[in-house]
Amino acid sequence: MTGSDDYVDLDGTRVHYERHEGPADGPAFVLVHGLGGSLDNWGAVAPMLAARGTVLSLDLGGFGLTQVHPRDAAVPANLALLQRFTAKMVGRPAIVAGNSMGGLLAAQLTARDPGAVAGAVLIDPAIPLVFRGYPHRDVVRDFAMTTLPGLSRIAAKRLAASTVRDEVERTIRMVTTRYDDIDPELIERHVRLSERRMSQRGAGASFEVAGRSLLTMLGHRKRYYSVVGRIAKPVLLLHGDHDKLINVRSARALAKRNPSWTYVEGEGIGHTPMFDFPDWTAGQILTWLDARPGLGAPAGA
């Protein structure tokens, strides 16, 4: 499941990443996790994509094992970090795939720096709300408790009263629909990482900063749609119809606004199909690539 993991220095930021080697004549993949996630989110999917090309997954600033000042965990700062990472570690147009906040980052990078991206895969990306497309009430409650001053202290008390494993399992159950189908080793990786992060200063503050900046960006609906509307590269939009965080109605609205994109809706699938539907997730990406021969391949391949 695991590839080789290492660190790369990007203008003073020590970025943790994992590499799965693949065929040299295939595309290079860059995988971007969401809010509160890490490169471990891709533990089941990355090896499958490596059958086609080299796969790089990274911990964004303030998440996983990439430590930054909390202010540098905001979405704009992580967009700049992703841009630097792709330029340095790939050096040619990559297939950039992102989930949730990572999907927003993948879309923004494609619009901002099209020379860095051959194609974008947006998996249940963060999207502005549409009418009747609201998150599940449990998600709203938990997000408020971890991002709003005062309420975040209540969340800290809840965490202190439970085990790390309890919190990891509760979170994963919320974003998936088939918890029992998840590879147990993938869950163990998340537990071990969470235990390690508890000793890191500023981990909670990074989540709060990133969460607030994400909400701010999604609140500017016209700006959001204007940015993604500038994307001129192939896009695959995958979305689960049982996503409790980003209601599927928002994905349908985004797909309608961008008819040139490929939109696939997963029946009975939640917010993070990489966990409980890795075969479906990797299969959709590879099928999309098969329909576009040579997309992302190195020059001359």
Q: Is 72 exposed, middle or buried (0-12, 13-18, 19+ CB in 10 A)?
A: buried
Q: Which of 165, 236, 189, 239 is nearest to 40 (CA)?
A: 189
Tokens of 138: 């449990």
Residue 26 lies in a domain: yes
How many whole angstroms separate alpha carbon 23 and alpha carbon 51? 7
Residue 96's CB is within 10 A of a number of other CB atoms, namely: 29
Q: Looking at the domain assignment, is residue 36 inside a domain?
A: yes
Flag whether 190 is in a domain: yes
Domain-embedded: residue 189: yes
Helix (H, G, I), strand (E, B) or coil at 266: strand
Q: What pLDDT, on a 0 to 100 scale, did the predictor assign at position 143?
A: 47
CATH code at position 8: 3.40.50.1820
Provide the residue-wise pLDDT of the chain in tens; the chain has 301 residues. 567 899 999 999 999 999 999 999 999 999 999 999 999 999 999 999 999 999 999 999 999 999 999 999 999 999 999 999 999 999 999 999 999 999 999 999 999 999 999 999 999 999 998 756 555 555 555 544 444 444 445 445 555 557 888 889 988 999 999 999 999 999 999 999 988 887 776 678 898 899 999 999 999 999 999 999 999 999 999 999 999 999 999 999 999 999 999 999 999 999 999 999 999 999 999 999 999 999 999 987 6
Q: CA torsion angle for 89, 108, 11, 203 (degrees, to 10)?
A: -100
Report yes or no on whether pTM surpasses 0.75: yes
Residue 8 lies in a domain: yes
Q: Is residue 299 a part of any domain in this protein?
A: no
Q: How many CA atoms lie within 13 A of 89 on its CB side?
A: 30
- Which residues constitute the domain of residue 161? 4-290
DSSP assignment string, 1-66: ---EEEEEEETTEEEEEEEE---TTS--EEEE--TT--GGGGTTTHHHHTTTS-EEEEPPTTSTT-
Say if 201 falls within a structural domain. Answer: yes
* Whether 264 contacts 287, CB under 8 Å: no
- In contact, 35 and 207? CB cutoff 8 Å: yes
Backbone angles phi, psi at 82, to 5 degrees: -60, -40
Give me the number of domains the chain comprises.
1
> Could you tell me if residue 93 is inside a domain?
yes
